[in-house]
Amino acid sequence: MQEGTTLEAVLRRDRLIVLGGLVGISALAWIYLGYMAWEMEAMDMAMQMAMPSVRVWNAVDILLLFVMWVVMMVAMMVPTAASMILTYAMINRRQQTQQGPFAPTAVFLGGYLVVWTGFSALATLAQWGLHEAALLSPMMVSTSPVLGGVLFLSAGIFQWTPWKYTCLKHCRSPLGFLMTDWREGAWGALWMGLRHGSYCTGCCWFLMALLFVAGVMNLLWVAMLTAFVLVEKMVPRGDLVGRVAGGVLVLAGIVLLGQMR
């Protein structure tokens, strides 16, 4: 009885530590995004007064944009992965009590974020291309109803695809994913983090593309997408909510494309 009580106390302590770390990481990322949004708005006003034309980005601009995307993905996706990360920490601790190898939860989280960092690199290149094609304003908002319509329409259709359903199923079942894909040790934790990150990215990448419609640094839009992903992953029948949202996105895309007539 004493041993079981001690284990439960350790699990509660671990849960509080991991949850506190996730909250801290997410809060810092959101604070940075808020600062970036404020700085960008001030910079845009200065550019409109002194230099109305859209300037060509240099390597420093692209690097800063990449950092912005990485921080944004941390702010958006770490909260949505909290259930998976906490479940990993619990199983990992129980394994240790049975003389199994122990790997820090940070390794699992690191693998997860490596995948989203790769996505951030692709998003940066996509935004650079859209900027060069004059399809985004200096405030990173779509200037083309066609671009917005196609993105809404594609994202809505994607919500109904088997690919989306398969990836979301893994994200909605932390215990099932970990029991099926469990690997021992630090390399195993990294591998599982990478695999979960791949499922998560496969589930949400089209939703992230919608940031180009309302503004990459539109924090209200960012918060709404984060809340939607949380609902999809964690709320009972969240998959059904996702399918309904897919229909809404398709309608929004049709409306935007209809404005081109």
Predicted local distance difference test score (pLDDT) of residue 14 = 85
pLDDT band, residue 42 (cuts 50/70/90) = low
Average confidence (pLDDT) over 8-12: 82
Integer angstrom CA distances of residue 69 from 115, 118, 132, 152, 211: 13, 10, 18, 20, 11
Average confidence (pLDDT) over 29-36: 93
Predicted local distance difference test score (pLDDT) of residue 54 = 52
How high does pLDDT run on average in the chain? 87
Nearest to 233 by CA among 155, 150, 177, 157: 177
With a cut of 50, say whether residue 203 has pLDDT above it: yes
Distance from C-alpha of 36 to C-alpha of 28, rounded to nearest angstrom? 12
In sequence order, what DSSP letters do the residues of 196-209 get, joined into one string? HHHHHHHHHHHHHH
- Residue 136 pairs with which residues in a beta bridge? 142
**DSSP structure class, residue 261:** -
- Angle formed by the axes of helices 238-258 and 162-172, to 10°? 140
Dihedral sign from CA coordinates of 202, 207, 213, 215: negative
Looking up tokens 């996105």 gives 249
Q: What percent of the chain has pLDDT over 70?
A: 90
Residue type, 165: Y
Integer angstrom CA distances of residue 18 from 7, 73, 136, 170, 233: 16, 19, 39, 21, 19
Predicted local distance difference test score (pLDDT) of residue 44 = 57
pLDDT band, residue 43 (cuts 50/70/90) = low
Q: 57-111: per-residue pLDDT in tens?
A: 788 888 999 999 999 999 999 999 999 999 999 988 887 777 667 788 999 999 9
In sequence order, what DSSP letters do the residues of 24-86 get, joined into one string? HHHHHHHHHHHHHHHHHHHHHHHHHHH--SPPPP-HHHHHHHHHHHHHHHHHHHHHHTHHHHH
pLDDT band, residue 9 (cuts 50/70/90) = confident
Which of 1-10, 187-196, 208-217, 240-249 comes out lowest in average pLDDT? 1-10
With a cut of 70, say whether residue 2 has pLDDT above it: no
Q: Which structural domain range is residue 34 located in?
A: 2-258
Looking up tokens 């040790």 gives 185
Predicted local distance difference test score (pLDDT) of residue 131 = 86
pTM above threshold 0.85: yes
Tokens standing for residue 227: 């809340």
User: CA 29: distance to chain centroid?
Assistant: 12
Distance from C-alpha of 183 to C-alpha of 235, rounded to nearest angstrom? 28
With a cut of 80, say whether residue 113 has pLDDT above it: yes
Which of 12-16, 29-33, 36-40, 243-247 comes out lowest in average pLDDT? 36-40
Q: 127-183: per-residue pLDDT in tens?
A: 999 988 888 877 778 888 899 999 999 999 999 999 999 999 999 999 999 989 899
Report the first-to-last Cα separation within the chain, whole angstroms: 73
Q: How many domains in the chain?
A: 1
